[in-house]
Structure 1
Amino acid sequence: MVKDLEAKALAGDLEAQALLHFVRLLRHKDYPGARAYAEGFPEGPKERLLAGLRLLEEAPERLEDPLFAAEREVVLGVKAVGEGRRQEAEAHFHKALSLDPQHHRALVNLGNLYQERGELEAALDLYQRALKLAPDDPLVHENLAALYKKKGDLDRMVAHMKRATRLKMRPPVPLDPLTGKPQPRPLHRRIPLWVWVFLLALLAYFLLKKP
């Protein structure tokens, strides 16, 4: 499903580009962002996306839409970890990667299982692969920081913790629901506050000077 979307998106299909961006939001587990983004679609696709999100949060095992397949496997894997079924969780994460090799959270969660088992180099390899796919996701940096702490590399640990903190503080950018590209911010947000203060003061000055 993802490969087909990527091929269509590269060919200039706007709907495929938009759906591919929706998949990127799922990879980041930005469900509120995905829900808001889905609202910009025409009625049919919008209902499909919103219904998928509802099932993903309420009953992922019942979700059959192929657009959500990789994310469903990650969600089920995380649930299995929480219930102590780590072998089953590992299978879910591997399946997610077979469906979507760019699903960085599948890599991170798989790396967490390796880290728990003390296989630090294998975990590091998975985290680094995730970092290449999603360098701006705080989750990746937080897990790298935890790994470097175990390895005793405090400089790298601190660097990744700082990076994660900065990324969490960054304001979200509005996106076009047809292309998935950032929308220009409204003019009033782009003009610094001091400019507005100056303009208002200037306006008041001229109004007060009127005879």
Structure 2
Amino acid sequence: MEGVKDLEAEALSGDPKAQALLHFLRLLRRKDYAGARAYAEGFPEGERERLLRGLSLLEEDPEALDDPFFAAEKEVVLGVKAVREGRREEAEAHFKRALALDPAHHRALTNLGTLHLERGELEEALALYQEALKLAPEDPLLHENLAALYKRKGDLDKMVAHMKRATRLKMAPPPSLDPLTGRPRRRFPLPPWAWLLLFALLAYLFLHKP
């Protein structure tokens, strides 16, 4: 399996298979496994089974996954598992390996930034978050992490700005495409008063968080 850069080059050249695989890879980066599973159904039989198997192993037994196409996502999944189990040095190594395999994997950047944030390395965390923000400006978790960082820095204006952005993205995300039809999924926006009430509650909880 070629690397991400080769796949991107083939997609830019107009190769339809590479374009389809690159879209699948974007779904993996966002951890939209449901969307990736639905999208995989459109591939020819052999490729479809390979992609579906990879998705199943990511969720059930990532260590058993040996398909190089899934290597970066596997490292991120193992890194998150290591964080949950308190093995932060191991987690950092996993996230760095993911970025070596796929430099555009914004969740690897975000998780690596969070490890720096936990250690009080605010500038290192900020640099990683900003790099991730260029790749995934619509990720609400990233904005929440930036809000936490700016709270630590004492910059309440930026903290509030990122909290507002995270809240808006969570409650009224931009329309996404159905992977089967290519048409926008329908969304049901909240009324303005509900937004204000929800944000006020989140801001109170965030500011009073120990």
TM-score range, shorter chain: 0.7 to 0.9
Choose which of 160, 164, 167 in structure 1 pairs with 2:166: 164
CA contact (8 A) 2:178 2:184 kept: no
Distance in 2 (alpha carbons) for counterparts of 1:62 and 1:133: 29
Larger Rg: 1
3-state SS of the aligned residue for 2:149?
A: helix
Q: Which residue of 1 aligns with 2:204?
A: none
Distance in 2 (alpha carbons) for counterparts of 1:111 and 1:100: 16
What amino acid maps onto 1:170 in structure 2? P
Q: Which residue of 2 aligns with 1:153?
A: 155
Distance in 2 (alpha carbons) for counterparts of 1:31 and 1:167: 19
Q: Which residue of 1 aligns with 2:55?
A: 53
Q: Which runs of 5+ in 2 are unaligned?
A: 187-210
Instruction: Report deviation, 1:39.
Output: 1.6
1:128 aligns with 2:130: yes
What amino acid maps onto 2:29 in structure 1? R
Q: Which residue of 2 aligns with 1:173?
A: 176
What amino acid maps onto 1:164 in structure 2? A
Larger RCO (CA within 8 A; separation ≥ 6): 1
1:74-153 aligned within 5 A: 74-153=76-155
CA contact (8 A) 2:37 2:52 kept: yes
TM-score w.r.t. structure 2 length? 0.82
Q: Which runs of 5+ in 1 are unaligned?
A: 190-211
Instruction: Report deviation, 1:130.
Output: 0.3
- What RMSD over aligned residues (CA atoms) do the two structures have, in Å? 1.7
Structure 1 runs of 4+ off > 2 angstroms?
A: 171-177, 182-186
Instruction: Report deviation, 1:43.
Output: 1.7
CA contact (8 A) 2:24 2:39 kept: yes
Structure 1, 66-75 or 165-174: larger mean CA deviation: 165-174
Instruction: Report deviation, 1:155.
Output: 1.1
TM-score w.r.t. structure 1 length? 0.82
Change (3 A) 1:184 1:82: closer
